[in-house]
Structure 1
Amino acid sequence: MKIVNTLSARIRTAQPEHHAIFTGMAWVSLFVIIGKLAGAAKEMAVAYRFGVGVEVDAYLFVLNFISWPIGVWFSVLTVVLVPLAAKMRQDAAGELPRFRAELFGVAIVLGLVLAILARLGLPMVLRSQWAGLPPATAALATHAAPTLAFLLPLGVLISLLSAWMLAAGRHANTLLEGVPAVVIGIAVLISAGSGIEPLVWATVGGFVAHVISLAIPLARRKEIEFPRFTWQSTQWTLFWRGFGIMLAGQALMSLIVIVDQFFAVHVGTGAFATLSYANRILALLLTLGGTVVSRATLPIFSKAHRQGNTQVRRVVTQWAGVMFLVGAVSSAVSWWLAPWVVKLLFERGAFTAQDSAAVSEVLRYALVQLPFYFAGLVLVSGLVSRGMHKLVALSAIANLVVKIFGNYLLVPAMGIKGIALATAFMYIVSFITLYKLTNITENHKGII
């Protein structure tokens, strides 16, 4: 009884930031689990239909190219928009509708420009010797590229609507991220067609459904406006200042996926598909932990910093320690379960026991990164909430350099296992760097 009373007293006297972060993590965890279950079902359907065949290599190669600018846009938009929205709600609430409308217009233009560039340039890249694709894979990828280019404007809009929902302190966008996976999984299973076409068009349909699912709740709350194609809001100066800095760092950091696929395709046919299946399982853990951490902490840290809370840095380091331990336990348990998980998810149809063994081995090397990745995300949220965008961007650039060096060093000797281990090495270096930056004691002039 005494223990319970003591625990209750500590909970009541804990800093409000801890309560808010814990509540946010609980909701985001639930939504991520639901979304990732949908994603796992989709991967099972794709593995059943295609195994590690040439269709999957071609599809994933193009999809990673398409996803690169979308991922950069969403990552940068989130870390800049969430703190800026907190500032606007406190200092300039009347500016929010106009700024949302004008940012909507920017997103539409950006998506259309990216789609045109992809339709014109991507087929030439895929057919070139620089891509390094086998002839059969290159032919399928070139065929799929024009249709998958539609994902660019859709993905840009999805990112914007998701970021606005997160900036408002709601986490339903995390749940809705499972919508494309549901559409793709069902379409792949029921389609009577053959080849890569069902997978390609199902992906486009999934993105369309995702846009609609995000727009409806925002419209009900009157938090979405018709787009304006002007830059008259007074908040643009602050937005572009933070956006430009983070864009440079995140664009280079996100090239890691592209770098890995070029190393993987030179290992041999099926290597990239094997790495991708391992990464799909790893993504269940990274997204569960990473999404929960960043989406639960960034709004709270930003709000606390704007309200003048001097204990934010202490809260950041405490949660970084907690998430490091969570990551270490998750890594150990996942290493033990890896063969059974891969077999359960993928080993059916064209996906053989030999494929399961290869994917499991790569996955185990990749799991080393978990504690450093989880803790590092908390540190990034803390730095961004204090306006230290330049330091975060420089850290991201350093990550790319470390990753390329690791690939060159490890891939010749270890194959695709070296790619996974190089990623873990990158996150170890990143964690050490971010921890040192977090504990900078001198005053730092923030961006926003």
Structure 2
Amino acid sequence: MSLVRKFMTVGGATLGSRIFGFARETLMAAALGTGPMADVFYAAFRFPNLFRRLFAEGAFNAAFVPLFSKEIEANGTDGAKRFSEEVFGVLFTVLLLITIVMELSMPLLVRFVIAPGFADDVEKSSLTVRMAMVMFPYLMCMSLTAMMSGMLNSLHHFFAAAVAPIFLNVVMIGALFYALYTGADPLTTAWYLSWGVLVAGILQLAVVYFGVIHAGMSIGLKFPRFTPNVKRLLILAVPAAITGGITQINQLIGQAIASAQEGAISALQYADRIYQLPLGVVGIAVGVVLLPELSRALKGGNLREAGNLQNRSIEFVLFLTIPAAFALWILSDEIIRVLYERGAFHAQNTAVVASILAIYGIGLPAFVLIKALQPGFYAREDTKMPMRFSAIAVTVNCALAITLFPHFGAPGIAVAEATAGWISTVLLFVTLLRRGHLAWDWALARRAALLVVAAAIMGGVLYYLRGVFAASLASGSPLLTKLGALGLLIGVSMIVYFAVAFLIGGADLGMIRRNMKRKASVEPPPPADL
């Protein structure tokens, strides 16, 4: 299967999850708006979500996948199965201990880490503690899910791992429909959602477990033993966990600062959901597929193939995210108005959330490029350097968020996160170039510049058409009219962008063929020392 077809497999499943996510957020906006219960729920959910990224996606996509791939290459399926059972035993035990400690410490964590701004409101603080305690076991389910997803990706079974997140959105949509149908108040709705998160975690774990069995593997629970392979995994996983969760760390910092202003947490969350669509479909797909592919190429000594994979991934990312960034910047008001403005979500909410979304749009290419660049380190079992870059980004994010929030509110936090994302991208890119792990490609640089030109022309057309369709996109227009106008704008912008990109040379049929066919330039491994 070609590289881009694998991207499309994962991206398609992720797109399905994101579409359900839009439906979920639309219902949540109607049911909760940006009121206090929305702030409470999102604050409580952010903490298990942070640990999911730290202990699950970051650690295992970065550390487990290369080692698991190495075991497959060296010792076959039996060796990989033995390694996965060793890891499963240790991971299960560690997660159980972490869950117990966090549940007991939740009141202190909410007061000093999750939402210090709630300290003066006893009711909000107490509700956040209780909802976080209900949702925190989601971490355990999702960490085990991430491990099995890593196994599936290494075995080239991408679909089950990619489709599992849909169940979170399906369960939460069901809870919201039930709440709206029964006329539940915001507090009851938030409780339905909290229990729904836990149920969804169990379902996601079941999906990937059966996927692993279908792939010809099985995992038994064994007594935890720190074997050499497990120790090596831990050495790689700790810095990788921090790096993989950098976005969540920055968002947790932003949430802690935003908790001082009512509605700021939920405003950031609603904007985050929109930009997660291109980030998820492109960024997660590239990161999930590229890491095992790079790992296999490097383990086989195919350095030229590894370089080609890295460059094709960057090319794919730029081709799709540059126009998306322009579109989010120009159409932010219209997107938020069409998707969210109803029920408890009012016009003034639209203005705030749209300004945040526009800023996230500027950071979008950086957030996605990080997903394409980090595997260049992880596949070589270097997780420490990206962690150092993450530390720099977190420091910048903290300083900017604290400085800007008093003056600009929630949009200031978005500026801090976008700036931190671009700093991480530049550091990763320059380091790969200096090490010789990424070859500078002038043709790729030229195409990237032309893609910016194509996107700018598309942006000009969008700006003009936005004025033409202003009446159809106004707050008082029927929903179907607004949806139709927004869909038409997006459709026209895609036609303009692709037409101009091909016309001026930012994209060509050769680029499509390079990405749709995996013709790796395979180098023989260096001769063994005599």
Pairwise same-fold verdict (TM > 0.5): yes
Is residue 88 of structure 2 the alignment partner of residue 88 of structure 1? no
% identical equivalent positions: 20
Q: Distance in 2 between matches of 1:111 and 1:284?
A: 29
Is residue 135 of structure 2 the alignment partner of residue 148 of structure 1? yes
Contact 1:111–1:153 (8 Å) recurs in 2: yes
Q: Distance in 2 between matches of 1:396 and 1:198?
A: 35
Instruction: Specify which of 166, 177, 183 is matched with residue 153 of structure 2.
Output: 166
Equivalence map 1:228-267=2 (5 Å): 228-231=222-225, 233-250=227-244, 254-266=248-260
Equivalence map 1:253-402=2 (5 Å): 254-266=248-260, 268-311=261-304, 312-402=306-396
- Deviation of the 1:410 alpha carbon: 2.5
Contact 1:101–1:225 (8 Å) recurs in 2: yes
Contact 1:123–1:145 (8 Å) recurs in 2: no
Q: Distance in 1 between matches of 2:246 and 2:17?
A: 28
Supply the AA of the counterpart residue of 1:281: I
- 2:12 aligns with 30
Q: Distance in 2 between matches of 1:349 and 1:253?
A: 30
- 1:185 aligns with 173
- 2:43 aligns with 61
Q: Which stretch shows the higher mean deviation, 322-331 or 393-402? A: 322-331
Q: Distance in 1 between matches of 2:125 and 2:71?
A: 48
Equivalence map 1:77-156=2 (5 Å): 77-93=60-76, 94-127=78-111, 131-133=116-118, 134-135=120-121, 136-156=123-143
CA RMSD, aligned part only?
A: 2.2
- Deviation of the 1:420 alpha carbon: 0.8
Supply the AA of the counterpart residue of 1:108: F
Instruction: Specify which of 214, 230, 235 is matched with residue 208 of structure 2.
Output: 214
Give secondary structure in 2 for the equivalent of 1:269.
coil
- Deviation of the 1:232 alpha carbon: 6.4
- 1:175 aligns with 163
Instruction: Specify which of 421, 426, 429 is matched with residue 432 of structure 1.
Output: 426
Q: Distance in 2 between matches of 1:414 and 1:232?
A: 49
Q: Distance in 1 between matches of 2:95 and 2:252?
A: 20
Q: Distance in 2 between matches of 1:160 and 1:419?
A: 32
The Cα offsets for residues 44-90 of structure 1, whole Å up to 9 and x where unpaired, read as 22222111111111111111112222111121111111111221111
Give secondary structure in 2 for the equivalent of 1:440.
helix
Give structure 1 regions of 4+ aligned residues with deviation exceeding 6 angstroms: none
Supply the AA of the counterpart residue of 2:14: V
Give secondary structure in 1 for the equivalent of 2:331.
helix
Q: Gaps (5+ residues) in structure 2? A: 438-530
Contact 1:101–1:227 (8 Å) recurs in 2: yes
- Deviation of the 1:405 alpha carbon: 2.2
Contact 1:31–1:174 (8 Å) recurs in 2: yes
Contact 2:117–2:257 (8 Å) recurs in 1: no
Contact 1:112–1:152 (8 Å) recurs in 2: no
The Cα offsets for residues 375-410 of structure 1, whole Å up to 9 and x where unpaired, read as 232111122212222222211222111211221332
The Cα offsets for residues 256-300 of structure 1, whole Å up to 9 and x where unpaired, read as 12211111112x111111111111111122112211110121111
The Cα offsets for residues 329-363 of structure 1, whole Å up to 9 and x where unpaired, read as 11012222322221222122111122112111111
Q: Gaps (5+ residues) in structure 1? A: 1-18, 444-448
Contact 2:283–2:369 (8 Å) recurs in 1: no
- Deviation of the 1:27 alpha carbon: 0.8
- 1:446 aligns with none
Give secondary structure in 1 for the equivalent of 2:374.
helix
The Cα offsets for residues 304-351 of structure 1, whole Å up to 9 and x where unpaired, read as 111111212354234324423422111012222322221222122111
Q: Distance in 2 between matches of 1:298 and 1:251?
A: 17
- Highest Rg: 1 or 2? 2
Q: Which stretch shows the higher mean deviation, 176-185 or 106-115? A: 106-115
Give TM-score, length-normalised by structure 2. Answer: 0.76
Q: Distance in 1 between matches of 2:134 and 2:215?
A: 33
- Deviation of the 1:141 alpha carbon: 0.9
